[in-house]
Structure 1
């Protein structure tokens, strides 16, 4: 009964987040109608991807029967326990001072757990997700065990993995896994089943992570909605940095939770890569993608007037292009006078005013995270 109640509560919470992400109201620009900024930039509908396909959640298990096969099966790692808390090898002791390392932990995991379990999973036409390689394990060590061939079974763990799964890695660290195991197989994709947690004390963490992940995935044959996925760990709770709080009186989202709503509203269309040159001014970091008919640029910068130069848009010189500068935390669009467009030879110059009260005051140094949204507007429409 407790297990049923826990699952029902979890489903209700996820439905709440989905409803907020799909329809929560935030003050956004009402410039319409919009035309494609770059004609034919969007992929065919059958291959179109959306930001929400990258975002998942992960939390506490409701009971012992909810546990998948071995989380963070990685043997002894830097800072880790000499023995797993639920898989005990020789010379185990409940007294951690007496416990000795389980030297064959990974070999036994591969031969006695992973491959036998994977055979069962695939017999039901399901996929095998390797249960999370922790960030402190090192990618070289991870690859060593993925490619380990069991002398007893004459098979590699990699032969029985469909989705490579890690924990708490930055997006850049996924590249070597993609190049070695996903680009030409045998794996179907890359997941992270734990991100976030205390990193969410920084309200910029989630929107920057998922925007970077989307840009990265668009450049790496994101041809299946399940190919790339990252799950926010411990999204629900009472610490101030958890995405949602249960109440009473009702469930609410914290700042990090609201950033996902803003991201969904700002870049909620079919996504495509933006390959034109993009150069931020001094102290400006920027990343860009196409969302439906709009160019969305995520901008991290300090306060004051800042600028970005965009190449490859010369065809728009005779067109009406509008721009919004949208706070990544609140979703509020700044006053029209705080964004200005001009041309410098073949470069579109976008200047924008960052508030003196930046939204990342807890960061060091403090910075501001926002979205520049550019759209082409039909002639004669204000």
Structure 2
């Protein structure tokens, strides 16, 4: 009898998914339900969740911090490793510290991360001042390349082995040449003619050739020799994607190799989700790269209270349509998760750490999009005052909507009607998590056309935007 009851429940769930997809299929074809309900997920792809995409710069520093990371859905951290040989080549090689001033114990941080399901990305950099080609400048190319490779080998040898078992290492940070914003040399990669006075600085003409030959490929060889993955060093947004592609494909006449062939994860900083698509199409869809990361997003963009929630929802929709067949294929890391500015995810305190608006919006996103993800293939048709995108989270259809105040409507053609006994609709404020009043939202079907009518409050949660908009989730779910 128990087997019969469970089988009937399974058939009911399959019919519900089929209806959400607009599919009329017999139970014998149950394996195709997910594909019909969504943009097909690759065979063997496994469960994908919104938390797979969310990382942050820095580490959680305590059990309380870990709980806050978990609440916000942050599953990866990124920070430095060193200090290497800070005073000279005779120093013992030290790679047990982390943080901006190397003031925290790295092994204990990594073990705590691992116990709590947080991935760790170690940033390999920079040059000790005694070895700097620009005197006293740790962001400049090294004079002695062997000191650089010795440091990389010490880090990867130690942390790719038990008990740490790290698999991802990032080479340098934002190495580039002249930037579109006016800087003659990239902030973290200096060479001849650098000057802190921008009026006197001149371009570093061999910036990328030197980076490829002296920094990237030597480090990448070491990383791969330990069967670990190479994360590119965060191409800056002001470097230009065309320039990024040029140097990825640059073949060194000295090493006779392309940088691209020594990159596993492309990495950019502060780009929109749409900007990532050319990189996917050219380098990830059919290889050779394994995936695309952004190891810095946010910062002052988070002054827009909608930024974080919109970015990660758009990122999820984008990834679901682009062969998200490994959990770490796509990742973006917020800069920064704590601080004193009101736009950071949390306020550091004192007296104690608290969530800012952007951090609270991540909590709402994680709670609302909590199930296994799949793409939603049906088109959304909004009235003139609203726009949005959708995905499937478990059995729920979740739409993220930006809308003007007043009554708004979204239509989804091609869906079979579900019984009101098994369907409910909810509108959730994307910043606070508050649900709208029952009378402010209604769901109806007209033949195969789903219609959701919902009321947007006069006081929108994006009042500082131009024009002001409200950000919310319209969730259609099976009632308990």
Normalising by structure 2, what TM-score? 0.68
Q: Which residue of 2 aligns with 1:5?
A: none
Tell me, yes or no, if the aligned pair for 2:417 and 2:448 is still in contact at 8 Å. Answer: no
Match among 323, 326, 342 for residue 224 of structure 1: 326
Tell me, yes or no, if the aligned pair for 1:326 and 1:372 is still in contact at 8 Å. Answer: yes
Q: Which residue of 2 aligns with 1:260?
A: 362
Tell me, yes or no, if the aligned pair for 2:174 and 2:189 is still in contact at 8 Å. Answer: no
Distance change in 2, residues 1:278/1:83 (3 Å): closer
What are the equivalent positions in structure 2 for 1:370-381 lying under 5 Å apart? Answer: 370-377=472-479
**How far apart are 1:220 and its partner, in Å?**
0.5
State the structure with bigger RCO (CA 8 A, min sep 6), 1 or 2: 1
Q: Which residue of 2 aligns with 1:202?
A: 304
Tell me, yes or no, if the aligned pair for 2:416 and 2:447 is still in contact at 8 Å. Answer: no
Inter-partner Cα distance in structure 1 for 2:371 and 2:188:
44
**How far apart are 1:64 and its partner, in Å?**
5.8
For structure 1, the residue ranges without an aligned partner over 5 or more in a row are 1-33
SS of match in other structure, 2:223: helix
SS of match in other structure, 1:316: coil
Tell me, yes or no, if the aligned pair for 2:174 and 2:186 is still in contact at 8 Å. Answer: no
Q: Which residue of 2 aligns with 1:49?
A: 48
Output the aligned Cα RMSD. Answer: 2.1
For structure 2, the residue ranges without an aligned partner over 5 or more in a row are 1-11, 19-32, 59-78, 81-98, 103-121, 125-170
Distance change in 2, residues 1:305/1:258 (3 Å): same
Tell me, yes or no, if the aligned pair for 1:163 and 1:189 is still in contact at 8 Å. Answer: yes
**How far apart are 1:293 and its partner, in Å?**
1.1
Inter-partner Cα distance in structure 1 for 2:246 and 2:394:
41
Inter-partner Cα distance in structure 1 for 2:394 and 2:218:
45
* 1:38 and 2:17 correspond: yes
Inter-partner Cα distance in structure 1 for 2:234 and 2:269:
6
Q: Which residue of 2 aligns with 1:312?
A: 414
Provide Cα deviations, 1:96-130, integer angstroms capped at 9, x if missing partner. Answer: 44332210010010011100010011111111111
Match among 242, 247, 252 for residue 150 of structure 1: 252
Inter-partner Cα distance in structure 2 for 1:275 and 1:300:
19
What are the equivalent positions in structure 2 for 1:1-382 lying under 5 Å apart? Answer: 35=13, 37-39=16-18, 40-41=33-34, 47-59=46-58, 62-63=99-100, 68=124, 69-84=171-186, 87-93=189-195, 95-316=197-418, 320-377=422-479
Tell me, yes or no, if the aligned pair for 1:35 and 1:377 is still in contact at 8 Å. Answer: no
Tell me, yes or no, if the aligned pair for 1:147 and 1:157 is still in contact at 8 Å. Answer: yes
Inter-partner Cα distance in structure 2 for 1:196 and 1:109:
26
**How far apart are 1:249 and its partner, in Å?**
1.7
Distance change in 2, residues 1:285/1:160 (3 Å): same
Distance change in 2, residues 1:344/1:242 (3 Å): same
SS of match in other structure, 1:364: coil
Inter-partner Cα distance in structure 1 for 2:44 and 2:258:
37
Provide Cα deviations, 1:142-191, integer angstroms capped at 9, x if missing partner. Answer: 11111011111110010000000001111111111000000000000000
Tell me, yes or no, if the aligned pair for 2:361 and 2:432 is still in contact at 8 Å. Answer: yes
Distance change in 2, residues 1:35/1:367 (3 Å): farther
Inter-partner Cα distance in structure 2 for 1:280 and 1:134:
36
Distance change in 2, residues 1:169/1:46 (3 Å): closer
Distance change in 2, residues 1:107/1:337 (3 Å): same
Q: How many residues align?
A: 345
